Amino acid sequence: MDLGLKDRRALVTAASKGLGRACAEGLVAEGARVFISSRDPERTGREIGAAGWLASDLSSEDGPERTAGEAARVLGGLDIVIVNAGGPPPGTFQSTDLPAWEAGFQLTLMSAIRLVKATLPLLRQSEQGRIVFITSISVRQPIPNIVISNAMRAAVTGLAKTLSRELAPDRITVNCVAPDAILTDRIRHLAGGDEENVRRMAERTPMRRLGTPEEFAAACVFLCSRQAAYISGQTLGVDGGSTLGVH
């Protein structure tokens, strides 16, 4: 299927590895011109054939705006934004102090708000704008011991749903893709760097395996496609069937 992504101009943030990188690679494979960012994106940018990259910290006040500006300068506009950031640290409510909440708020929610604010004027000029937020399956089923993520992803999902209505007249679709247990460094870190824990995590999934970043990226790339023009305001779980709810 031709996804109509050739020469489309895409920004993928937090894309030096893991899910962001896989999304950027997926878009490059479809012929899109892709700009990536992270705190250290250069090696990945070269490896995947990105059109450009910028080192920026998304949780800083000016990081998202600088990233959007440089992406637009290099690409000559923007059609697609995949909004991603690193995951906040794990912890229970009891073990999480207020500075950690503030840092998580900046990293997960404010970075998304700032990035959309900065890219919206550009997306409005696109014939078919796309915003995809990478969230977490915790929006359907909160995950024990990552309370900041559980709270902030719900906020991002509310933001996405609201935006989908506001931006529909501008032909911009807004969706979330919610991963669960896709094997990346984030999962290795949450497993305490212990391969045996990773194996046990895989055993607990319905498919008895973790997902691959490429399987996750395929969902994001489809939502960026021409064919997905009438899909907006949705959360698509890429979780190997792990959630128990019916919606």
Ligand X SMILES: NC(=O)c1ccc[n+]([C@@H]2O[C@H](COP(=O)([O-])OP(=O)(O)OC[C@H]3O[C@@H](n4cnc5c(N)ncnc54)[C@H](OP(=O)(O)O)[C@@H]3O)[C@@H](O)[C@H]2O)c1
Q: Which residues bind ligand X (CB under 6 A)?
A: 14-20, 38-41, 57-59, 84-87, 107, 134, 136, 149, 179-182, 184-187
CB 181 within 8 A of CB 205: yes
| Closer CB to ligand X, 38 or 175, in the complex | 38
| Closer CB to ligand X, 142 or 233, in the complex | 142
| Closer CB to ligand X, 4 or 89, in the complex | 89
Q: Which amino acid is at 91?
A: G
- Min dist CB 29 to ligand X, Å, is 18
- Longest CA–CA span in the chain (Å) reads 50
Tokens of 147: 């309370």
| Closer CB to ligand X, 15 or 80, in the complex | 15
Tokens of 232: 């907006």
Ramachandran assignment for 7, one of left (phi > 0), alpha (psi -120 to 50 degrees), beta (any other):
left
- Min dist CB 18 to ligand X, Å, is 2
- Min dist CB 141 to ligand X, Å, is 11
- Min dist CB 56 to ligand X, Å, is 6
Tokens of 177: 């893709």
